[in-house]
Amino acid sequence: MTTSNGRARHVAIIMDGNGRWAKQRGLPRVIGHRKGVEAVRELVRSLANLDIECLTLYAFSSENWKRPEDEIDDLMTLMRRFIRSDLPEFVANDVRLKIIGDWRSLAPDIVDMLEDALAQTAKGSRILAVALNYGSQQEIARAAAAAATKGPVTADSIAAHLDTADLPPLDLLIRTSGEVRLSNFLLWQAAYAEMLFVETRWPDFTPRDLITALDNFAKRERRFGGR
């Protein structure tokens, strides 16, 4: 029997339900996203008290470009504000930012801000990985193409070229707001991850909910294909 030893090193979250949170309250979607950013902020603050090495958040998918232009603008504006306002806190709290996905094709000012944020947080020890313009199938295709330039394409050589190659193996994948699907997020990395689908809308998800999720993870028996 292989167990998790109780401890999750790497947790990833599909932050779903901002729109429904707002709709339930008769508010515009942007307010839901704004509240969603506040939930992110509280979670990142709580990292200092949690025994996990890496938190990966799905902030903007390669499919999110299909949303109306004004919603995309709102999300990008929130991103800019979040980096500007919270970067000093990341540095103070020993957080190392990592970005996965095709983020270099975002707006040039966002790319500049992210590059600056990566440089400023490079020495941090707790990793906050943010998936931006991220699609897992695209990531795997990029990794396979890169692996092919160097030699035989194998599972190991693809894994070594994924955006997450330098992160700990994914232990726990959480999705909020009731949908039970992966939506092109960390498909490769989730091969042996535990999954947890919760009903809570993302803006209502608190650090306490993450602790509950980690307690749930600690009780699971992991076999990694063995018995």
Q: Is 19 in the site for ligand FPP (CB under 6 A)?
A: yes
Single out the segment in contact with ligand FPP by CB under 6 A; choices: 30-38, 105-113, 183-191, 217-225: 30-38
Instruction: Restricting to residues 92-151, name those near ligand FPP by CB under 6 A.
Output: 130
**Residue from 137, 182, 138, 216 nearest 13 by CA:** 182
- 40 makes contact with ligand FPP (CB under 6 A): yes
Q: According to CB under 6 A, which one of 33, 98, 126, 161 is a site residue for ligand FPP? A: 33
Q: Which of 10, 12, 13, 16 binds ligand FPP (CB under 6 A)?
A: 16
The interface mask with ligand FPP, positions 69-98, x = CB under 6 A, is ------x--xx--x----------------
Site for ligand FPP in 162-191 (CB under 6 A): 177
d(CA 100, CA 75): 17
Furthest-apart CA atoms within the chain: distance in Å: 56
Phi, psi of 56 (to 5 degrees): -115, 125
**Residue 36 near ligand FPP by CB under 6 A:** yes
Amino acid in position 15? M
- Closest-CA residue to 135 (of 30, 44, 65): 65
- When the beta carbons of 64 and 138 are compared against ligand FPP, the nearer one is 64
Q: Distance of CA 42 to CAs 4, 39, 49, 86, 104, Å?
A: 26, 5, 12, 11, 27
DSSP 63: T
**Which residue numbers are catalytic?**
16, 64
Contact positions toward ligand FPP, by CB under 6 A?
15-20, 33, 36-37, 40, 57, 59, 64, 75, 78-79, 82, 130, 177, 202
